[in-house]
């Protein structure tokens, strides 16, 4: 009896770990996560759902193109219909293929292409970017800014700030982010609201 219980529990633990490490956990708990995020987000529920669908559709379409998927590293971020593409493509043709794929997705108002022409970044480089993102988010909270309203993306030590915020909050967020060690530059992609 004990052995039967251990098997499913072990499988569930391994599955949850894999989903978390690969970034697929939002797919499993998406409904709850989206519901919680909408409570403290100035976007409409429809905009939040649309952004999630844009991101998932872009990632799925890129991964279906096996050569493109294996030769590039692309991160897709969507906030209020603004899509930020970060990562690397080994040549201009691959970058253009990615842009063509994303441009054909409905619901996108604007695409900000920040794909670099370079081999896919290394794991340590991505880890350093994740560390910078974590430090920026922590600093935003420490300065009393609502980190749920500001999306922070870091690629190649460049910090991108997105969200629907008042101008003063956007300016303060950029200033706070600029003080984080190892940040190369800040790119503000905010949409301002009164």
- Looking at residue 88, its pLDDT comes to 98
Contacts of 110 (CB under 8 A, 6+ apart): 81, 82, 83
Q: pLDDT tens for residues 116-127?
A: 999 999 999 999
The pLDDT, as a whole number, for residue 65 is: 95
Where are the domains positioned within the chain?
1-39, 44-78+88-117, 123-192
CA–CA separation, 160 vs 6, rounded Å? 44
- Concatenating the DSSP letter of every residue in 174-191 gives HHHHHTSTT--EEEEEEE
pLDDT of the residue at 194 = 84
Q: Quick check: 171 and 140 in contact, CB under 8 A?
A: no
* Residue in this structure with the two tokens 């794909």, named with its chain if needed: 115
Q: Would you state the torsion angle of the CA atoms of residues 177, 181, 184, 185, taken in this order, to the nearest 10 degrees?
A: 10
Q: Is 79 exposed, middle or buried (0-12, 13-18, 19+ CB in 10 A)?
A: buried
Which pLDDT score, from 0 to 100, does residue 109 have?
96
Residue 96 has pLDDT above 90, yes or no: yes
Strands (E), the chain: 73-79, 82-89, 110-117, 151-155, 158-165, 185-192
75 pLDDT above the threshold of 90: yes
Residue 41 banded pLDDT, cuts 50, 70, 90: low
| Signed CA dihedral, 171, 137, 28, 123: sign only | positive
pTM score: 0.79
Q: Return the CA Rg of the chain.
A: 18
Mean pLDDT of 12-18: 48
Assign domain 123-192 one CATH number from 3.40.640.10, 3.30.300.30, 3.30.230.70, 3.30.1340.30: 3.30.1340.30
């Amino acid at each position: 009896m004990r052995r039967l219980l251990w098997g499913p529990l072990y499988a569930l633990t391994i599955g949850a770990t894999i989903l978390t490490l690969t970034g697929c956990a939002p797919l499993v708990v998406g409904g709850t996560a989206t519901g919680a995020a909408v409570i403290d987000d100035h976007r409409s529920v429809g905009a939040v759902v649309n952004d999630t669908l844009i991101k998932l559709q872009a990632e799925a379409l890129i991964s279906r193109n096996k050569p493109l998927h294996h030769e590039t590293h692309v991160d897709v971020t969507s906030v209020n219909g603004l899509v930020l593409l970060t990562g690397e493509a080994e040549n201009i043709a691959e970058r253009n293929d990615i842009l063509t794929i994303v441009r054909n997705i409905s619901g996108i108002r604007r695409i900000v292409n920040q794909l670099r022409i370079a081999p896919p970044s290394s794991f340590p480089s991505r880890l350093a970017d994740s560390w910078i993102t974590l430090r920026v988010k922590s600093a935003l909270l420490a300065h009393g800014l609502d980190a749920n309203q500001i999306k922070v993306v870091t690629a190649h030590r460049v910090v991108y700030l997105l969200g629907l915020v008042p101008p003063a909050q956007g300016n303060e967020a950029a200033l706070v982010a600029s003080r984080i060690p190892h940040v190369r530059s800040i790119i503000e992609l905010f949409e301002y609201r009164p």
